[in-house]
Amino acid sequence: MTVFELVEGDDTQDQEFHKIDARLFKRCVDVLISRGKAQIISYSGNVGTAKENSISGLSGETGIKFF
């Protein structure tokens, strides 16, 4: 799912994290990445870890893969 779909999408309206503050969302994703539970994926095909692809640049076109 993309960041936009997770935070703003119709499919997450009944979830606690729907419309979550962007800074808090980024911190949560950082924790998941550091624990090996998530990975950032861009549509250009780049896949990165927390060090390689900082989530400070997350946009609606960035995807997050959960494990």
Looking at residue 5, its pLDDT comes to 85
The token pair that represents 49 in the structure block: 């870890």
Q: How many domains does the chain have?
A: 1
Whole-number CA gyration radius for the chain: 11
Q: What domain range includes position 11?
A: 3-66
Burial label for 8, CB within 10 Å (0-12, 13-18, 19+), is middle
At 64, the amino acid letter reads I
Q: What is the CATH number of the domain that holds 8?
A: 1.10.10.10
Q: Is the pLDDT of residue 66 over 70?
A: yes
Q: Quick one: what percent of the chain has pLDDT higher than 70? A: 72
pTM metric for this prediction:
0.65
Q: How far is CA 1 from CA 11, 36, 40, 41, 51, in A?
A: 10, 17, 10, 10, 21
pLDDT digits (tens, 9 = 90+) for 19-50: 998 889 889 999 999 999 999 887 665 555 44
